[in-house]
A and B are shown apart, each in its own frame.
Chain A
Amino acid sequence: KAGVTQTPRYLIKTRGQQVTLSCSPISGHRSVSWYQQTPGQGLQFLFEYFSETQRNKGNFPGRFSGRQFSNSRSEMNVSTLELGDSALYLCASSLGSGTTYGYTFGSGTRLTVV
């Protein structure tokens, strides 16, 4: 059974650019959540999608956005990149919406902004 696939694994971008990250959940999982992980702040919730609808959003500026497609695959976009956006971006999928289903995380996309 394939796990959660995130692409690309590594990315280097310049300040001011925008970036799109992709997440393919486990087959049959309909919920996708995104987290940002940094050494200082730890794991911070970005947003969660279920059946193409955003169910919840964390405390991030509007530069961070996402969407989910009918096949449950999800993308997140960061516009006007800042140095502080350098982080590991993690996608987690679950069978249903709600944390009690349990998350399966991907290996993440390491974004470096220079």
Chain B
Amino acid sequence: QQQVKQSPQSLIVQKGGISIINCAYENTAFDYFPWYQQFPGKGPALLIAIRPDVSEKKEGRFTISFNKSAKQFSLHIMDSQPGDSATYFCAAPQGSNYKLTFGKGTLLTVNP
């Protein structure tokens, strides 16, 4: 079963710092790589996604960097805020375009 490997498992950052979460995927014929953010008691919410005809996509403080040859992509959160404290999941369509395979998640804590 194809996997999406996400690291680190947990991350503690000071307010104003940069949070970086990495993901690696296996072969996929479909190019769509989203990041989801999940708060306790809620379902995951789409944060940002990239189609790798570009190597980087930025939305506000959130940036996805994509390296197609290495089959890796990462999420950068600039000027991290306590309100960013949540679990982050990367995902990739693997094996079929009808399902997303998710990474195991990264618990981000931003200290004030």
Question: In the complex, A100→B51 CA distance in Å?
Answer: 9
Interface residues of B (CB under 8 A from A): 1, 30, 32, 34, 36, 41-46, 49, 51, 89, 91, 93, 96-105
- B34's partner among A97, A102, A108 (CB-CB below 8 A) is A102
CB atoms of B99 and A108 under 8 A apart: no
| Chain A minimum-CB-distance residue to B41 | A107
CB atoms of B43 and A107 under 8 A apart: yes
23 A-B pairs in the complex with CB atoms less than 8 angstroms apart: A42-B105, A43-B44, A43-B89, A43-B105, A56-B98, A56-B99, A58-B99, A90-B43, A90-B44, A97-B98, A99-B91, A99-B99, A100-B30, A100-B93, A102-B34, A102-B46, A103-B34, A103-B100, A105-B43, A105-B44, A105-B45, A106-B43, A108-B43
A70, chain B: closest CB distance, angstroms? 20
- B98's partner among A55, A59, A107 (CB-CB below 8 A) is A55
How many residues belonging to A are interface residues under a CB distance threshold of 8 Å? 25
Which residues of the other chain, A, contact B102 by a CB distance below 8 angstroms? 35, 42-43
Which residues of the other chain, B, contact A104 by a CB distance below 8 angstroms? 45-46
Q: Which residues A24-82 have CB closer than 8 A to chain B?
A: 33, 35, 42-43, 45, 48, 50, 55-56, 58-59
Q: Say whether, besides A42-B105, A43-B89, A59-B1, A99 and B43 are in contact (CB < 8 Å).
A: no
Q: Say whether, besides A104-B46, A105-B45, A107-B43, A45 and B100 are in contact (CB < 8 Å).
A: yes
CB atoms of A56 and B103 under 8 A apart: no
